[in-house]
């Protein structure tokens, strides 16, 4: 129902008599379906999609309704790109690095090993060339993307035995994101990619020797501490993984300018809120895990440095072999280097000083 048909049906005279201002803001009722890659139990990852849908609903008096679905409910957890691309759903919410297999370029919308932290990702996306470049890439998948969350740096994951040296990695069946798997393969790691909901039994049964999921809050919910004692940090393959809202291009084009603006602000609100939620909830969860016997371990500098070199080599190869990657990565890498050179003088020194204090 728009202003034009209101005027037609109710009669222009009556409308004018009532003093109705031009109703450019009046909008048709819309129902969309949003498929996520996440289990309902996670009020962080799944909950952020709900938060987005609520923000859109509230801003439109319930006229723009978005129903949110767990991974597998209407689309498989890792099938959401296809689902949006072919229009099975209008929207999805996912961690783009799951789609490394389609094209490693997806990972630049989320996280690559030794890449950006959350602050850097948002800066590159919103105020650098990031979002512009990624939208050019996503266009061929019929996707318009909106940054919609960032977990902050994740943990390195749960290990059944201690991993001190590069040699200790040999033969390790490790569930991690595919790009991290690629970086670790030269050291004999056998990478696995399994949706979150299926991880616990795999680690329990020994199908996996180690896994990483997110961080203390989510990991405690999924109970990984019950089946592995060592909890490594940091997850250097995801220094600030970004979540994306995917919207089918035709569905997006069909929205009014007002609805587009509402979606854009709701996504940005979800983005900042998710990081806030993780930062607020991880500390207590980490304390609880340590109280339950979890042993915290940093990755050794030997492992970090070897992995860093392996990652740089892969980036060099992709720059040569993958034209889509090449269109984006150099800009990403320059932004990363530039911001690190600034953060070294600003955030770095402040945070280090504060983390050393007894508060």
The reply to whether 202 sits near its own copies by the rule CB under 8 A is: no
Quick one: which of 138, 115, 119, 169 has its CA closest to 308? 115
Give dist(CA 231, CA 210) in Å, integer: 10
Q: What's the closest the beta carbon of residue 243 comes to its own copies, in angstroms?
A: 13
The reply to whether 65 sits near its own copies by the rule CB under 8 A is: no
Q: What's the closest the beta carbon of residue 330 comes to its own copies, in angstroms?
A: 12
Q: Is 356 exposed, middle or buried (0-12, 13-18, 19+ CB in 10 A)?
A: exposed
Helix (H, G, I), strand (E, B) or coil at 325: helix
Peptide bond into 204 cis (omega under 30): no
For residue 304, CA distances in Å to 30, 52, 237, 355 come to 49, 36, 10, 21
Q: Which residues of 320-341 are buried (b: 16+ CB within 10 A; e: fewer)?
A: eeeebbeebbebbbebbeebee
Residue 349: CA count within 13 A, CB half-sphere? 5
The reply to whether 292 sits near its own copies by the rule CB under 8 A is: no
Q: What's the closest the beta carbon of residue 270 comes to its own copies, in angstroms?
A: 9
Q: Which of residues 134-193 bind its own copies (CB under 8 A)?
A: 152-155
Among 225, 275, 294, 310, contact with its own copies (rule: CB under 8 A): 275
Q: What's the closest the beta carbon of residue 281 comes to its own copies, in angstroms?
A: 7
Stretch 303-342: interaction string toward its own copies, x if CB under 8 A = -x---x------------------------x-xxxxxxxx
Helix (H, G, I), strand (E, B) or coil at 242: strand
Stretch that binds its own copies, among 12-20, 73-81, 173-181, 200-208 (CB under 8 A): 12-20
Quick one: which of 45, 359, 97, 32 has its CA closest to 218? 45
Q: Which of residues 97-116 bind its own copies (CB under 8 A)?
A: 114
The reply to whether 294 sits near its own copies by the rule CB under 8 A is: no
Stretch that binds its own copies, among 82-90, 137-145, 180-188, 264-272 (CB under 8 A): 264-272
Stretch that binds its own copies, among 136-144, 157-165, 247-255, 345-353 (CB under 8 A): 345-353
Give 231's strand partners: 158, 296
Q: At what angle do helices 323-343 and 130-138 cross, to 10 degrees?
A: 160
Q: What's the closest the beta carbon of residue 115 comes to its own copies, in angstroms?
A: 9
Q: What's the closest the beta carbon of residue 358 comes to its own copies, in angstroms?
A: 9
Among 70, 81, 107, 118, contact with its own copies (rule: CB under 8 A): 118
State both tokens at 125. 């996306």
Among 36, 94, 105, 122, contact with its own copies (rule: CB under 8 A): 122
Give dist(CA 224, CA 210) in Å, integer: 10
Q: What's the closest the beta carbon of residue 58 comes to its own copies, in angstroms?
A: 4
Among 215, 252, 318, 329, contact with its own copies (rule: CB under 8 A): 215
State both tokens at 234. 């940091």
Q: What's the closest the beta carbon of residue 207 comes to its own copies, in angstroms?
A: 27
The reply to whether 30 sits near its own copies by the rule CB under 8 A is: no
The reply to whether 291 sits near its own copies by the rule CB under 8 A is: no
């Amino acid at each position: 129902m728009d202003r034009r048909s209101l005027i037609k049906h109710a009669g222009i005279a009556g409308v004018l008599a009532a003093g109705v201002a031009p109703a450019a803001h009046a909008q048709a009722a819309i129902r969309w379906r949003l498929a996520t890659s996440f289990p309902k139990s996670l009020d962080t990852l799944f909950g952020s999609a709900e938060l987005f849908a609520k923000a859109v609903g509230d801003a439109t008096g319930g006229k723009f309704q978005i129903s949110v679905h767990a991974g597998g409910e209407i689309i498989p957890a890792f099938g959401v790109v296809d689902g949006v691309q072919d229009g099975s759903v209008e929207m999805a919410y996912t961690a783009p690095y799951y789609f490394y297999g389609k094209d490693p370029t997806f990972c630049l919308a989320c996280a690559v090993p030794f890449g950006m932290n959350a602050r850097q990702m948002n800066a590159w996306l919103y105020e650098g060339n990031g979002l512009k470049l990624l939208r050019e890439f996503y266009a061929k998948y019929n996707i318009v993307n909106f940054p919609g969350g960032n977990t902050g740096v994740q943990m390195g994951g749960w290990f059944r035995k201690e991993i001190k040296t590069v040699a200790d990695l040999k033969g390790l069946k490790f569930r991690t994101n595919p790009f991290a798997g690629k970086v670790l393969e030269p050291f004999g790691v056998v990478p696995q990619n399994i949706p979150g909901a299926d991880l616990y039994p795999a680690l329990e049964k020994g199908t996996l020797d180690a896994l990483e999921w997110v961080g203390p809050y989510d990991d405690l919910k999924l109970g990984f501490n019950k089946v592995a004692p060592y909890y490594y940090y940091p997850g250097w393959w995801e220094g600030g993984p970004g979540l994306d809202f995917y919207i089918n291009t035709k569905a997006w084009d069909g929205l009014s300018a007002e609805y587009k603006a509402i979606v854009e602000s709701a996504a940005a609100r979800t983005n900042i809120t998710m990081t806030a939620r993780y930062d607020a909830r991880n500390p207590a969860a980490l304390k609880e895990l340590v109280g339950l016997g979890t042993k915290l371990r940093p990755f050794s500098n030997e492992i970090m440095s070897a992995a860093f070199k392996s990652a740089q080599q892969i980036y060099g190869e992709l720059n040569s072999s993958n034209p889509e990657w090449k269109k984006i990565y150099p800009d990403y890498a320059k932004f990363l280097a530039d911001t690190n050179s600034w953060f070294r003088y600003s955030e770095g020194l402040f945070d280090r000083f504060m983390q050393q204090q007894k508060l």
